[in-house]
């Protein structure tokens, strides 16, 4: 079986559901269930003997040692992180604790476990670290897309903490020989994404008749990838990636934030028109910009395509339609995640906008 950290979050949960459907191989999920972790994301696995859920912290070394000894995983897929840039600006400490200290503890536990494995299992073991394109910093409109050779130039507390974890992972390979793989992926969207991130926030706010907040001029560019494609890329890297290598993952889909929001408004107008017949785009509001806001991210995913034959299956049009439809079909999921803690965050983040 494999050990997945952060499996109750957005990408981790999509990964586990896809993994069990595609491979059938067992999964132990370790998740602290922070505000972003939601056990309902794994509801479909209730009673499925192939899945074990463990509530705990990746920074808890004793727990990690117990889990590894008991379940003897052949691989660790490490998603657990504090993941929201705006939250890292308001309160960076949790980001250092989980993304840096937590990853360090996980690496140490993995190293101890891996070193004691018999030769064939030791050879086959993999530690896959899920990271982000944000570690590379920001691009001008004419710069070429990020390759794996791009310097690490993080600009936010979040991206700095992820870059730090990438460096630790690299060093544990270089110094100790731990068979690691690192993936640096662009912006994901799809089912089960917590509505603090742009796309689900806009869908949920639009349906609730609320403002659709665009930071600054809305001309910032992100490279959007459907979450199912990210999960497929991770499976492929785990299967065939070369230990010690990093692989960029992207959607070949650069779009400005304003265009994304206008596109969602148009789609909602088609699938669930407003009762008063007015366009959802009338809810768009420009608010103050994110401090240190990176202007543009773009991923050159040529290496994973050349070496491992991976390309995204979804276009933005097909992926965003599936996503909007999923949120329309799951009002109970949205209501459940919009708990008191969620409302407090929204009040704080958009209060002075
Ligand atoms: P998320 O915030 O939705 O989920 C994170 C999960 O980690 C939650 O279930 C949370 O409870 C858990 N967690 C947090 N701290 C923990 C700890 N100390 N111990 C155990 N579990 C803990 O995040 P996501 O969007 O699913 O991102 C998953 C990973 O992918 C992150 O490492 C993130 O940096 C990376 N990533 C995300 C994107 C994106 O667009 N969302 C893109 C590229 C890379
Ligand atoms: O690039 C990969 C990264 O993508 C991941 O590593 C992060 O975990 C993930 O959160 C995401 O970071 P971003 O900051 O790009 O995503 P977010 O959805 O927060 O914002 C996307 C863009 O939209 C960004 O330019 C900020 C803008 N934005 C966001 C929100 C929440 C707005 O204009 N208004 C908003 O209310």
DSSP letter string, 78-94: E--S---HHHHHH--HH
CA 75 / ligand 2 centre spacing (Å):
30
Nearest to 326 by CA among 66, 13, 75: 13
215 lines ligand 2 (CB under 6 A): yes
Strand, coil or helix: 299: strand
CA 96 / ligand 1 centre spacing (Å):
14
Strand, coil or helix: 53: strand
Helices (H) and strands (E) in the chain, counts: 14, 13
257 lines ligand 2 (CB under 6 A): yes
296 lines ligand 2 (CB under 6 A): no
CA 229 / ligand 2 centre spacing (Å):
19
Question: Which runs of E-coded beta strand occur in 150-260?
Answer: 180-185, 188-189, 212-215, 221-223, 225-226, 246-249, 254-256
The ligand placed nearest to the CA atom of residue 13 is 1
183 lines ligand 2 (CB under 6 A): no
Query: Which residue ranges make up each domain of the chain?
Result: 2-190+225-252+296-314
CA 64 / ligand 1 centre spacing (Å):
18
* Greatest C-alpha distance within the chain: 68
CA–CA separation, 6 and 12 (whole Å): 6
CA–CA separation, 242 and 248 (whole Å): 13
* CATH architecture group of domain 2-190+225-252+296-314: 3-Layer(aba) Sandwich (3.40)
Which residue is it, tokens 């979804």? 314
- Which pairs from 47-52 meet CB under 8 Å and 24+ separation? 48/20, 50/1, 50/20, 50/24, 50/25, 50/26, 51/16, 51/20, 51/26, 51/27, 52/26, 52/27, 52/28
pLDDT, residue 233, reads: 98
Closest ligand 2 atom to Cα of 257: 23
Nearest CA to ligand 1 atom 17: 57
Q: Which residues pair with 227 in a beta bridge?
A: none
Total residues belonging to the chain: 353
Residue 261 tokens read as 């929001």
pLDDT, mean of each 10-residue run, the chain (353 residues) = 98 98 97 93 95 97 98 98 98 98 99 98 98 98 98 98 98 98 98 97 98 98 98 98 98 96 98 98 98 98 98 97 98 88 77 65
pLDDT, residue 342, reads: 66
Question: Which runs of E-coded beta strand occur in the chain?
Answer: 2-5, 27-31, 51-55, 75-78, 126-132, 180-185, 188-189, 212-215, 221-223, 225-226, 246-249, 254-256, 284-287
Pocket test for ligand 2, best of 187, 219, 261, 299 (most atoms within 8 A of CB): 187
pLDDT, residue 4, reads: 99
Nearest CA to ligand 2 atom 2: 187
CA contacts within 13 A on the Cβ side of 279 = 10
pTM of model > 0.95: yes
pLDDT, residue 19, reads: 98
pLDDT, residue 353, reads: 54
How far CA 187 is from CA of 55, 227, 229, 277, 352, in Å, comes to 27, 9, 12, 32, 26
Residue 50 tokens read as 């192939």
CA 45 / ligand 2 centre spacing (Å):
29
């Amino acid at each position: 079986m494999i050990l997945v950290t952060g499996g109750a979050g957005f990408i981790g949960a999509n990964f586990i559901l896809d993994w069990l459907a595609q491979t059938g191989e067992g999964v132990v999920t370790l998740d602290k269930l922070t505000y972003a972790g939601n056990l309902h994301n794994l509801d479909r696995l209730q009673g499925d003997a192939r899945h074990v859920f463990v509530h705990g912290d990746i920074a808890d070394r004793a727990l990690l040692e117990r889990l590894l000894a008991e379940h003897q995983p052949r691989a660790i897929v490490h998603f657990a992180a504090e993941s929201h840039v705006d939250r890292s600006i308001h309160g960076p400490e949790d980001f250092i604790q989980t993304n840096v200290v937590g990853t360090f503890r996980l690496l140490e536990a993995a190293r101890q476990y891996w070193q004691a494995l018999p030769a064939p299992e030791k050879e086959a073991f993999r530690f896959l670290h899920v990271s982000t394109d944000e570690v590379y910093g920001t691009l001008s409109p004419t710069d070429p897309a990020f390759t794996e050779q791009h310097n690490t130039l993080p600009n936010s507390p979040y991206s700095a903490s992820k870059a730090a974890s990438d460096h630790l992972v690299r060093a544990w390979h270089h110094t100790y020989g731990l068979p690691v793989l690192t993936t640096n992926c662009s912006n994901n969207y799809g089912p089960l994404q917590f509505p603090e991130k742009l796309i689900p926030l806009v869908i949920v706010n639009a349906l609730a008749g609320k403002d659709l907040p665009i930071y600054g001029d809305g001309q910032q560019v992100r490279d959007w990838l459907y979450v199912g494609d990210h999960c497929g890329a991770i499976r492929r890297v785990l299967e065939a990636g070369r230990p010690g290598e990093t692989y960029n993952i992207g959607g070949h889909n650069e779009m400005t934030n304003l265009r994304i929001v206008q596109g969602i408004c148009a789609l909602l107008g088609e699938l669930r028109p407003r009762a008063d017949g007015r366009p959802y785009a009338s809810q768009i509001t420009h608010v103050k910009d994110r401090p240190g806001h990176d202007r543009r991210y773009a991923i050159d995913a040529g290496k994973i395509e050349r070496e491992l034959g991976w390309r995204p299956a979804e276009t933005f049009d097909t992926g965003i339609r599936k996503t909007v439809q999923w949120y329309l079909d799951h009002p109970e999921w949205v209501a459940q995640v919009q708990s008191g803690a969620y409302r407090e965050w929204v009040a704080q983040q958009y209060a002075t906008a």
